[in-house]
C-alpha cells in the first residue's frame, strides 16, 4: 500500500507499507529539490532522526518502523527537504481524527 502525504512544488512524500514495515519515500521531479544533500533531507519519527537512504537526486527513502505493531498510539512523522517542512500524525485511528 502507498499513501501520498504531499505532492506539490516538485516533491512527493509518500508512506509505503510493505512486508510489515513502513517506509517514507521522497521523490523529486526535474524542477524539484535535490535529494542528494544529506543535511537538507531529514526524516524524524517521534523525535528521533531516521537514516535516509539517498538513491539519486530524485529519490530517497527512510524506514519509519521495521515492523508494524498493534500499538494504538499514532506516530509523529516530520520531513524536511530544503525549505519544505511538514509533519503528519500517521497510523492514527481514523475515527479519532
Residue 25's CATH number: 2.60.40
Domain count, the chain: 1
- pTM listed for this prediction: 0.88
Q: What is the pLDDT of residues 59-94, one digit of tens each?
A: 999 999 887 666 668 899 999 999 999 999 987 544
Domain boundaries, position 58: 2-96
DSSP string computed for the chain: -EEEEEEETTEEEEEEEETTEEEEEEEE-TTS--TT-GGGEEEEETTEEE-EEEEETTEEEEEEESS-----S-EEEEEEETTEEEEEEES--GGG-
Q: What is the pLDDT of residues 7-21, one digit of tens each?
A: 999 999 999 998 888
Amino acid at each position: 500500500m502507498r499513501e501520498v502525504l504531499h505532492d506539490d512544488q516538485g516533491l512527493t512524500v509518500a508512506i509505503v507499507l510493505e512486508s510489515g514495515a513502513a517506509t517514507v519515500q521522497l521523490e523529486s521531479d526535474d524542477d524539484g529539490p535535490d535529494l542528494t544533500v544529506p543535511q537538507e533531507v531529514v526524516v524524524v519519527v517521534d523525535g528521533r532522526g531516521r537514516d535516509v537512504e539517498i538513491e539519486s537526486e530524485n529519490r530517497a527513502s527512510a524506514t519509519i518502523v521495521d515492523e508494524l505493531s498493534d500499538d494504538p498510539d499514532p506516530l509523529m512523522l516530520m520531513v524536511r527537504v530544503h525549505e519544505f517542512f511538514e509533519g503528519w500524525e500517521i497510523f492514527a485511528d481514523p475515527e479519532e481524527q
